[in-house]
Amino acid sequence: MLDINGWEFIVLLVAALLVIGPERMPEYAAKLARMVKQVRGLADAAKVQLREQMGSDFDDVDWKQYDPRQYDPRRIVREAAQDDAQEGSRWLEIQVDPTSYAPFVGGITPALEIVLDEARSASKDIGIGVAVVVAANRIRHPLDARTLARLAARYAGDGVGQVVGFGLSNDERRGVTAEFAHAFDIARRAGLACVPHGGELLGAAAVSETLAALAPDRLGHGIRCVEDPRVLDDVVRRGLTLEVCPGSNVALGVYSTARDVPLRQLVEAGANIALGADDPLLFGSRLNAQYETARTVHGLSDVELAELARASARGSRAPEPALKQILADIEAWLIS
């Protein structure tokens, strides 16, 4: 075998993908998937080795720019739709940062148009409604967020293949939340749902700051609002939907085990909860697994699980006909 270590192998793999080019990526997708499984162990070891060598500089590198998935946004949208449909989902709001794809397709506008086109196509072919949330990145300048908000506003709508929301993602410990307020004002004026992330890596104070600065309609995570009864009461009073993702909470070390995730506490407080899997490609668990955790670990009954599903539907931007059908399907499941 070639005399290279794990990290050198990963570098060579990324280099090969760059040589192949985005236009030829689809034909290599199946081979790549098999290869990724085989080298995952090497990648983990290489990551540890590289972190030891780079020290604190490791965390300053934007590793997403080396992610080969960025070359084929159509594949990402379609496979997300297929996976969710197989698990019984009826409506998907996929979060996308067009900046990640822009260098490979000629800019953020064509990047978003490709995603929206595939969302329409996947909706038609697979039978699940797919809409898009444009997300800004906390580690970039707030002016970049304003640019993305204006782009999202241009394509705003309330159906499949349209932009229905505007978000803010990545490490919430980076950037100043209030500095992104103007971008959310732009999105709100366009009728978009405001759906930033917050309250996972940071505590209840971060949730409170996000509520005050960005006035979200839905909050990615927000799980740690339970650490301050006043913040939890504010979340409930506002009728805010929390996108709770137990799998990622444990994977990121926010809680040691699934049992430690305060899902039951949120339910009993009357919070609107939309269970989610966050990023299945990163964390290795999907939506159904979150519901199974809610049942087996937190002891939620079928009635309570149905209410979680209803809250997820009501907290979405699904069009009224789709929302009525989703709610009817939930009732049918409950009485079956």
Active-site residue set: 200
Cβ-Cβ contacts under 8 Å for 245 (sequence gap 6 or more): 200, 221, 275, 276, 277, 278, 290
The torsion region of residue 66 among left (phi > 0), alpha (psi -120 to 50) and beta comes to alpha
The overall longest dimension of the chain from CA atoms, in Å, is 62
The Cα 261–Cα 247 span in angstroms is 9
Q: Which regions of the chain does DSSP assign to beta strands (E)?
A: 91-96, 129-137, 163-169, 193-198, 218-221, 241-244, 272-275
The Cβ of residue 239 has, within 10 Å, a number of other Cβ atoms equal to 12
Rounded-to-integer distance, Cα 240 and Cα 272, Å: 6
List the helix and strand counts (H, then E) for the chain: 15, 7
- Per DSSP bridges, beta strands 163-169 and 91-96 are unpaired
Q: 308: closest CA among 320, 324, 292, 321?
A: 292
Pairing mode, strands 163-169 and 193-198: parallel
Report how far apart, in Å, the C-alpha atoms of 290 and of each of 134, 226, 246, 260, 275 are.
Answer: 24, 19, 7, 14, 7
Tokens of 189: 């004026």
